[in-house]
Structure 1
Amino acid sequence: MTDPQIALLMLGGFILIVFLGFPIAFTLMAMGIGFGYYAYYDPSRMWRAYGRLDDTASWWDSMTLWIDGFFNNRIFSLFINQTYAVMSNDVLTAIPLFLFMGYIVERANIVERLFSTLNIAAKRIPGSMGVAALITCALFATATGIVGAVVTLMGLLALPAMLKARYDHSFAAGIICAGGTLGILIPPSIMLIVYAAASGVSIVRLYSAALIPGFILVGLYIVYVVGRSMLQPSIAPRPTKEEVPDLPALTLLRMLATSFFPLAFLILAVLGSILFGLATPSEAASIGALGGLVLAVAYRALTWERLRQSVYLTIRTTAMVCWLFVGSYTFSSVFSYLGGEQVIAEFVQSLDISPIQFLLLAQLIIFLLGWPLEWSEIIIIFVPIFLPLLKMFGIDPLFFGVLVALNLQTSFLTPPMAMSAYYLKGIAPPEVRLTQIFAGVLPFVLMVFVSMAIIYLFPETVFTIPELVYGR
């Protein structure tokens, strides 16, 4: 077999092993080192080791030289260097800090107050409770970036209230599942940090580019909820005065001041300091982590146990992401050295497709990968395969990254592997069936496709803010 054929065998073997359920990070490292040993193998190094032996050498000397010759392969140096490069990456430093901010905010008991306040404030809007749940999900998802945490917590808080208010089961479940995924796209998104580290795109420009598409998607979700509530009032009945009381404007403003504004101010402070160049992402994430602690203290929710859990979950998630990067860098280096990237590039060139067709093909592949894989695995492992092809088609990696972030919303919403649906089903009342949750999320998947179509047709939605603020 030729080296490029071995590279394709390496990629196919990895996909097969992942589908069998093996841990992805360690599979990447094992296959990278295994195939890399072949790729970088130099027989002369082994013979040079044996050449140092003489007739008086002991078996221990022979074994020592054999081990020295076996490990005298450049793949081990590559693996060590890639590990060090990931652990010292300045962009990735922001990930544990943003995660810590999210886990602390999750435990600050702010979400229940926020949902109750927004529910009262939006009571005159059709589907008011759904709109309140969607905005709460969006704000909380933006602060945490952790889909499972947002869907689970909102499922415990908002879903029982919506079902008690006679909301349709599918409609209520779809709102919570879709709202919980918005943290993938809306800055300060951890996914965008990972994409920036993988692609070399400026995280500041990426954050600014994702703002308008994020607002477009949230707007489409709200328009769908309000529009369907107007067309089918039975699925989202208007609340009675007993369910949602009328409160004086001053009381409502006081409730907003103690629930909505603190979290919104924290997010805007973190994001604004990044976008206006006042702080690096890592420095802004440090501010966010400190702000999360201050919020937890202000709401009297900071205990030693909650702090310990937040630190533990932060370390666990950060380790997962970093080891995925180590495995991916090692795997992709060997894959490229064997000529795998060149084979893929030549194959794509032979298709004779336009840039738009390439974008559609790439997004279709990412959409399908979203069924069995998490967003982190798609960004770290498979997106780098597309990145070298972007220059060939004249596609800006910034534009591609925003499209990928939009597309990955569907990885949590598309049956049969819609993880948001399974998160919600795990804590939902028994009468809410999984098929009802699947039916509820499908219209929101359509809204994602509509938002992607808008971005395709109007690329200025991505480039306007970065060009205005930072230039071309």
Structure 2
Amino acid sequence: MFLSDPALGILMLVMFLAFLMLGFPIAFTLMALGVGFGYFTRGDTVFQLFVQRTYSVMANDVLISIPLFLFMGYVVERANILDRLFRAIQLAAGWMPGSLAVATLITCAMFATATGIVGAVVTLMGLLAFPAMLRAGYDTRLAAGVVCAGGCLGILIPPSVMLILYGATAGVSVVKLYAAAFVPGLMLAGLYTLYVVVRAMLNPALAPKLPPAERASSVGEIIFALATSFFPLAILISSVLGAIVFGLATPSEAAAIGAAGAILLAVIYRSFSVTKLKESVFLTARASAMVCWLFVGSAVFSAVFALLGGQQVVENFVLSLNLGPIGFLILTQAIIFVLGWPLEWTEIIVIFLPIFLPLLDNFGVDPIFFGVLVGLNLQTSFLSPPVAMAPFYLKGVAPKNVSIEQIFSGVMPFLYIVILSMILLYLFPGIALWLPNALYG
């Protein structure tokens, strides 16, 4: 006896999860299951659906900005700007308790914003800032937590590639998403910094003060360091973000400006070469191809899943729980939290969020607010043991005497800060919605 269409839809979802755990390529697994189940139930029409979905993804103007932002990030990464930036902020923050950790967090926030590539930021800061903190006598766990947590900020702080993908998936304005994520992103970075400063004040042995020889000898030295290292990158990021938020350019146009600005910075810093340009182009093409094929596979899978009635089964199940808006948000965020262990944020955004998005209207949840909440939640997917990617990135470049258990122990307080930020956002939605409402009504 054949299964009903909704049962086949649920079977398709279960099979995808099984293949995922076995390590099959996600994009091609999605396409194979979508086309296979579609052909079994709808015949040749699934091939027309496949072509239509592929074309709609490739013709999506919003997605054009992704390779441009990625290219901007890879050029900045290879322009040796990070060490200059870290040194300048270290000099400026030398008077603060835990100054090296504070400098690391600020550098991570800026560099993560410029690149949006978590692995690159954690790895580079693990090579630059982590050894510097250990040499200064910092507690290994605190130093590890600072590098891992700071490196993940680019997921949320604009111009975030995650928000572009969410906007394209949910059909909402990327401009409004950027405006909504700006304050929560700064809030999270501020809470990280506050935690480090307070811990350094309560227990100076965890983060000893730098010796006078490593501090700035004059205000002029600080100003010169900031003018030559901090402000150029800050101006580039602010120009790109400001052009988007204030409606002066579309995300794609602003990303193109950012890519050109990154090349200009590399030339100014005498770090530009044809070899580095080729590396940046290759890495951009590889990452963009992965994202686009993942988007195509997700579009085909989601379309067939909806045609079979699987989406309706999920909706009916959630509605049968008689949850309120808060209960619905807690349920969805708990599921996303668990999915963050085996999955990257890209897979969560394009595969599983489309299952929840149609339910937002039923519970009166603003999709802009939901997107920012997801961005906060995805920080946890990189930090929460046992499958936290950021600690493993750091472990790959850390000294051999630093254990993965020490790194996991170090990230836990920052994981609690992320959860606190989500609770604050639950209680005060205006943290995310105030700025877009003020700018766009």
Please tell me the TM-score bracket, short chain as reference. over 0.9
The Cα shift of 1:304 comes to 1.1
Contact 1:168 1:236 in 2 (8 A): yes
Equivalent pairs, count: 439
Matches of residues 11-410 of structure 1 in structure 2 within 5 Å? 11-41=13-43, 73-242=44-213, 244-410=214-380
- 2:222 and 2:324 map into 1 onto residues whose CA distance is 54
Gap regions ≥5 residues in structure 2 = none
- Bigger radius of gyration, 1 or 2? 1
RMSD value, Cα: 0.7
1:428 maps to 398
AA at the equivalent of 1:29: M
AA at the equivalent of 2:241: L
Contact 1:177 1:421 in 2 (8 A): yes
* Helix, strand or coil at the partner of 1:382: helix
* Helix, strand or coil at the partner of 2:247: coil
Taking a change above 3 Å as real, the CA distance of residues 76 and 167 of structure 1, as seen in their structure-2 partners, is same
Q: 1:411 aligns with which of 358, 381, 392?
A: 381
AA at the equivalent of 2:168: A
The Cα shift of 1:346 comes to 0.8
Contact 2:9 2:308 in 1 (8 A): yes
* Helix, strand or coil at the partner of 1:237: coil
Taking a change above 3 Å as real, the CA distance of residues 331 and 253 of structure 1, as seen in their structure-2 partners, is same
- 2:229 and 2:118 map into 1 onto residues whose CA distance is 21
- 2:41 and 2:236 map into 1 onto residues whose CA distance is 49
CA deviations on 1:382-433 (whole Å, 9 max, x unpaired) are 0110000111111111111000000000010001111000100001111111
AA at the equivalent of 1:308: K
- 1:418 and 1:369 map into 2 onto residues whose CA distance is 11
Moved over 4 A (4+): none
The Cα shift of 1:84 comes to 1.1
AA at the equivalent of 1:128: S
- 2:216 and 2:364 map into 1 onto residues whose CA distance is 56
CA deviations on 1:349-398 (whole Å, 9 max, x unpaired) are 11111110010000000000000000000000001100001111111111
| Farther off after superposition, 249-258 or 98-107 | 249-258
- 1:148 and 1:305 map into 2 onto residues whose CA distance is 22
Contact 1:39 1:334 in 2 (8 A): no
TM-score normalised over the length of structure 1: 0.92
- 1:452 and 1:88 map into 2 onto residues whose CA distance is 34
TM-score normalised over the length of structure 2: 0.99
- 2:316 and 2:59 map into 1 onto residues whose CA distance is 34
| Farther off after superposition, 245-254 or 140-149 | 245-254
The Cα shift of 1:81 comes to 1.2
Q: Report sequence identity in percent.
A: 61
Contact 2:339 2:348 in 1 (8 A): yes
- 1:310 and 1:105 map into 2 onto residues whose CA distance is 9
Contact 2:115 2:154 in 1 (8 A): yes
- 1:466 and 1:160 map into 2 onto residues whose CA distance is 40
The Cα shift of 1:83 comes to 1.0
